[in-house]
Amino acid sequence: MVFSSITFLFYFLPIVLGIYYIVPKKWKNLSLLIASFIFYYLGEPVYVALMAFSILSTYIFGILIDKYKKTKYSKIFFIISIIVSVGLLGYFKYANFIIENVNLWLNNKIDFIYVALPIGISFYTFQMISYLADVYNGKAKVQKNILKLAMYVSLFPQLIAGPIVRYTTIENQLEDRTHTIEKFSLGVRRFIIGLSKKVLIANVLGELVNTFLSSSEMSVLYCWLYGISVMLQIYFDFSGYSDMAIGLGKMFGFEFLENFNYPYIAKSITDFWRRWHISLSSWFRDYIYIPLGGNRTSKIKWLRNIMIVWFLTGLWHGAAWNFVIWGLYFGILLIIEKLFLGKFLEKIPKVLSHFYVLLIVMISFIIFNGKSSVQILQNIGGLIGINNLPFVTSESIYYFKSYFLVIIIAMISATPLLKNIFTKEKIKKVSNVLEPIFLFSLLIICTAYIVDGSFNPFLYFRF
């Protein structure tokens, strides 16, 4: 079950909210825990037991790590817990990828494992690892109530699509959190905005992306339409789900950290990754990069640390080489910026640095969205007309006219321009009055699109 579905919007969510606010305070956590397991069961009935096992394993290892802290046994239990968590993730997500490459490189014929990827396993595995690491390092108190730990891991607003919520972020909120009309209304507002990003922008641009990938009539204009559309689709899909998760969290009294901060206004790739999928990049920084030594080591090891982190970042996004190349692509660019390009970018006009970031990111998402190396090279080469590609065709002009408006709306919405306008004092008074009408209209339009059976992919299946 996904947030942008009729089942969730008009059945599951209203029922869960109604029960949550009716039951006494002492039963709220339990009601939310049961709702989260039902939510996951409706989407992954086979693997709800796997998530329950992972929670139980994390709970036991957390207790053991804390019980034997400051002894060698604490480290042993911590290492075993990581092996268990990473092992489960590796088996379900990467086993066939490994088999495929072993067969290719060693000319073997090992049979593939017929196993489906559990939705959200990358997200909740990373949350459990961060919890265990923080307990081991003394940054978090061990949770001795298994129901509270289970709720942290399985909390349905962020279970299948993030953001990756640290235990330390909501540790106190698991015990006690505030519920106000203001917070609830802000949550509804944020959820509708996220839903609109997903349904009205990401899904619409996704149609153009899929049309391009199935077309045989290529042109330079069509390749640029594809590149721009895919980078906007991925942003609005990812950030839309994060907005919905943050909004749902507020409805239930939780405060999740922001996950996106207008990444397409970045002035460098370093700045871009401070703004894009913040919970993921900060997770890799704190639990991989810094433990490896970060930049407080020799230059060779520092460069090694960066490449390890970005290799893993790419692999986290999917079990395919295009994701690994995507991650290494950013790793190399970040090294180049840190060594010498960063100072140059600070001196040139902002418009040029912005253009540099957008071009680099657009190419990265062509790699990210590629199905094969040949397709990726053709689509990137098409941007500059390689192989005598025509500049325009009748098909590319048709799709340019058809999607021009939504692309412009997406470009404007990817910047803080509208936010800055509507927060000005003179306009704010008017917008406060009109905002409920606007949000309700957005919800109606989104519902119409969903009911109509419009294109509604779930990009997080690979995660």
Is 118 within 8 Å of 44 (Cβ atoms)? Answer: yes
Report the amino acid identity of residue 463.
Answer: F
Is 74 within 8 Å of 65 (Cβ atoms)? Answer: yes
Spacing of C-alpha 316 from chain mean position: 11
Rounded CA separation 280/143 (Å): 23
Rounded CA separation 331/320 (Å): 17
Return phi, psi of residue 298, to 5°: -65, 160
Residue 317 among the catalytic residues: yes
Work out the number of other CB atoms within 10 angstroms of the CB of residue 328: 17
Whose structure tokens read 């594809």?
Answer: 226
Could you tell me which residues come within 8 angstroms of residue 462 by beta carbon, excluding any fewer than 6 positions away?
117, 317, 318, 319
Q: What is the DSSP letter of 111?
A: P
Is 226 within 8 Å of 206 (Cβ atoms)? Answer: no
Of these residues, 179, 277, 317, 354, which one is catalytic?
317
Burial 203-232 (b: 16+ CB within 10 A, else e): bbbbbbbebbeeeeebbbbbbbbbbbbbbb
Point out the residues that are catalytic.
Answer: 317
